[in-house]
Amino acid sequence: MHTLLAYTTRAAYKSRPDEFESLLPIGLCSLHALLRSQQIPVTLANFSNMPNRQIIDLLLQIQPTVAGLSQWTHNRHVTLELARLIKQTLPNCTILLGGGHATHQAELILQRHCEVDLIAVGEAEQTLLDLLDALQTGTPLTEIPGVVIRTNNGILHTAQRQPWPDLDQLPFPTTWLHEAVNVNTTLQAEFISSSRGCPAACNFCASPAFWGRKIRYRSAASVAEEMLSIREQYGLIHLSLRDDTFTSDRRRTVALCQELITRRINLFWSCQSRVEAIDQETLEWMRRAGCECVQLGVESGSPDILKLLGKRILPDQIRTAASLIRQAGMQLSVYLITGIPEERDLDRQLTINLIKQIQPDDLQVAPLAYYPGTALFETAVKNGRLQPDLFETSHEEAVLAEQNGQRKVTQMLSRTVRYRQHASIKQLLSIQEKQCYSAVTAMQTGDAYAAEGELQRAEEQYQLITQKEPDHPWGWFLLGELYEQTNKHRKALECYQKVRCLVPLHKPANESLQRLGH
């Protein structure tokens, strides 16, 4: 019995493909690692840019008994096309859908798409194990908790699936990632998750409905061990923690930072948080532990729009959180939403004014879109504004709440992007003076000097990292880049070689050494 776990999206075929959309969901990688850890035959594949002939060849080669497909709203149609292709090629293969879209549209999908046999609701580790066991033992699939299945008597929701009891007991999703088909392992391994669940109730987000509003955390030791394994196995020295609200539990966040510092993990990383879950002491621990950027879901600078979106925050809280992140010496990234039917010119201007005040290093603006499992969609269906089968009839990857929402996004971005600024050298030096050394602030100060053409001062900042933390790869790598750019090739070689000693599989350093003839 062989299991295929697969993801696909049309992103690769766009004129301007989004490489992040083509990444495998972390949950799918977790399923793969779980089966692999139990010696269950499994293949993990990304079919996003593979022709059907190549997919069919792989299917005929591995002959999967079960195909688990990850379906989200943006890839809902192409995932169903893949399911049909698998059924046509291997009629006896059991097709299991999972993921956010499948979870919240399960009945409709099973009613209209006979190629799908059953759907896993929410997290699916134990569900998949139970399914494989049932197929081997002949146990009725209707006895598996946590699935929606088609029966002779209609669509059946089985018993509720209890969450996985201890996330530390799951193997790291990246452990066997190198065995996956058509996966950019270097990019894929950069994204990790240290918790499941979100305490918020934003009406445009389906995460709480999928994971639940009670957050379950992995231990600090487990997360630190995964980060170290990724550094050693894939040579990465920067990671992105994709928890919905990384700082929701202050004690847990500090404990993780202390673990990273004690174990000398020596990575830079970024995380997502909420403005009401930010405090000065926690941010200082994060900076010391290597956090170089905090991403905040700001969405709007208008109190009315924030209330409409269910954010339960006010602009003053956003300004306070942004200021704390700046004072801690980290970069600030913000997410904004526009294209909201109720949004007025005044609301948009308030957002622009807010961005001018908080001066993020980076911002991303997206149109408000409908997703199943969100209060936004459910309310619109209840009020008769939308049909329940909207995602079946619409072939757009994102169903916008306002027809010209994308145009307003473009307008807002063009007006807002001019206010994007990085922290000044003066600000960074002040942070260094007040809060003492950290590799993150030294890196940012060096980068700021380099951008101004003050290369000697940039060199001094990068050297500060190598002097304070000679086992930190970032100091040596930044120096290597600086020396290479200024044609000091012998010094650059020495620095890149030092990186390779610390992180043997670090791809940029090894490519630089090859470029320089070593």
> Would you state the pLDDT for residue 375?
93
Q: Please report, to the nearest 10 degrees, the dihedral formed by the alpha carbons of residues 268, 274, 280, 282 taken in order.
A: -50
Task: Yes or no: say if 46 and 22 are a contact pair by the CB < 8 Å rule.
Answer: yes
27 has pLDDT over 90: yes
The set of residues, in sequence order, having a beta carbon less than 8 Å from that of 114 and lying 6+ positions away, is none
Domains in the chain, please, with CATH? 3-157 (3.40.50.280), 190-419 (3.20.20.70), 436-515 (1.25.40.10)
What average pLDDT does the segment 310-329 reach? 94
Q: Please report, to the nearest 10 degrees, the dihedral formed by the alpha carbons of residues 444, 448, 451, 455 taken in order.
A: -90
The DSSP annotation for 84-139 comes to HHHHHH-TTPEEEEESHHHHHTHHHHHHH-TT--EEE-S--HHHHHHHHHHHHHT-
pLDDT confidence of 420, banded at 50, 70, 90?
Answer: very low
> Would you state the pLDDT for residue 412?
59
142 has pLDDT over 80: yes
Name the token pair of 79: 């995932």
Q: What is the 3-state secondary structure (H, E, C) of 498-509?
A: HHHHHCCCCHHH
Helix (H, G, I), strand (E, B) or coil at 171: coil
> Would you state the pLDDT for residue 16?
46
Q: What letter would DSSP give residue 368?
A: -
Distance (Å, rounded) from C-alpha 36 to C-alpha 32? Answer: 6
pLDDT confidence of 11, banded at 50, 70, 90?
Answer: low
Name the token pair of 418: 């001019």
pLDDT in tens, 208-227: 888 877 899 999 999 999 99
CA angle in degrees (0–180, nearest 5) for 108-374-361: 130
The amino acid at residue 409 is V
Crossing angle (nearest 10°) for helices 439-451 and 473-485: 10
Residue 313's CB is within 10 A of a number of other CB atoms, namely 21
Predicted TM-score of the model (pTM):
0.93
Strands 369-370 and 399-400, by their bridges, are antiparallel
pLDDT in tens, 83-95: 999 999 999 999 9
Which CA distances in Å does 43 have to 23, 35, 40, 59, 180? 16, 10, 10, 10, 7
**Environment class of residue 160 by beta-carbon count within 10 Å: exposed (0-12), middle (13-18) or buried (19+)?**
exposed
